[in-house]
Chain A
Amino acid sequence: MSSKLAIVFVAAATALCAQETPLDNSVKINLPPDSPLTLISANLGESHVSQRGSAVVLDLDVTLTLHNSSPNRVRGVTLLVAAQEVTPGGKASVSVPSLDVPPSQNFPVRINLRLLRPAQIAGGPLVQVNLDGVLFQDYSFYGPNRLDSRRAMTAWEMQAQRDRRYFKSILAARGLEGLKQAMLESLNRQAERPRLDVQVSRGPAVTSAAVGERNVRFAFLRFPGEPVEPVEGWAEIAGNEARNPRIDVRNLSSQQVRAVEIDWIVSDRQGKQYMAGSVPASGPTFNLKAGNTSRVLQDSALCFSHLAKDGGAPLSIAGMTGFVGQVEFADGKVWIPNRESLANAQLLGILEPSPEEQRLTDLYRKKGPKALADELSKF
Chain B
Amino acid sequence: MTHPNQSILALYAGRDLGWFARRRTERHLSRCRECRDEVQAFGAARDNLVALNELPAISWNRLAIEMKANIRLGLAAGECVRGERRAGRFALWEMLSGGRALTAGASVVALVAAGLFLQRPAPVAPPAVATESAVLRATANGIELHQGGQTLSLLHVRSDDAIYSAGAQGSMRAGYVDSDTGNVTINNLYVQ
Contact = CB atoms under 8 A, between A and B. Distances in A.
A356 interface: yes
A108 interface: yes
Interface string B174-192: 0111101111111111111
Contacts of A205: 133
Contacts of A110: 158, 178, 180-181, 185
A87 B170 CA distance: 14
A5 B56 CA distance: 52
A114 B190 contact: no
Contact of B177 (A99, A156, A206, A362): A362
Interface string A246-280: 00000000000000000010000000000111111
A99 to B, nearest CB: 7
A355 B178 CA distance: 12
B155 A114 contact: yes
B117 to A, nearest CB: 25
B149 A118 contact: yes
Contact of A98 (B145, B154, B156, B183): B183
Interface in A309-360: 352-353, 355-356, 358-359
Contact of B168 (A89, A95, A280, A352): A280
Interface stretch (A22-30, A135-143, A193-201, A210-218): A193-201
Interface in B131-169: 131, 133-138, 142, 145-158, 163-169
Given A87-B150, A200-B136, A95 B186 contact: yes
Which of A55, A86, A277 counts the most B-chain CB atoms under 10 A from its CB?
A277
Nearest to A304: B166
B135 A201 contact: yes
A90 B189 contact: yes
Given A94-B186, A94-B187, A358-B175, A277 B165 contact: yes
B147 A200 contact: no
Contact of A202 (B134, B152, B153, B186): B134
A107 B180 CA distance: 12
B19 to A, nearest CB: 9
B93 interface: no
A156 B188 CA distance: 14
A92 B163 contact: no
Which of B135, B171, B184 counts the most A-chain CB atoms under 10 A from its CB?
B184
B188 A147 contact: yes
A-side interface mostly: strand
Contacts of B9: none
Given A89-B192, A93-B188, A278 B183 contact: no
A204 B142 CA distance: 25
Contacts of A90: 134, 145, 147, 152, 189-192
A147 B150 contact: no
A105 to B, nearest CB: 14
Interface residues of A, number: 66
Interface in A166-200: 190, 195, 197-200
B170 A95 contact: no
A99 B171 CA distance: 23
B84 to A, nearest CB: 64
B10 interface: no
Nearest to A11: B20
Interface string A265-305: 00000000001111110000000000000000010101000
A134 interface: no
A86 B191 contact: no
Given A110-B181, A201-B134, A202-B133, A91 B165 contact: no
Contact of B150 (A99, A113, A117, A197): A117
Contacts of A108: 181, 183
A355 B186 contact: yes
Contacts of B155: 112-114
A369 interface: no
A88 interface: yes
Given A114-B153, A200-B137, A201-B133, 4 more contacts: A90-B190, A91-B189, A298-B169, A358-B175
17 contacts: A81-B154, A88-B129, A90-B189, A90-B192, A92-B152, A93-B188, A110-B185, A112-B155, A116-B152, A118-B150, A200-B167, A200-B172, A201-B136, A202-B170, A277-B167, A280-B168, A359-B182
For the complex of A and B, 10 pairs with smallest distance between CB atoms: A203-B133, A277-B166, A89-B192, A87-B147, A298-B168, A355-B184, A362-B177, A114-B153, A200-B136, A116-B151
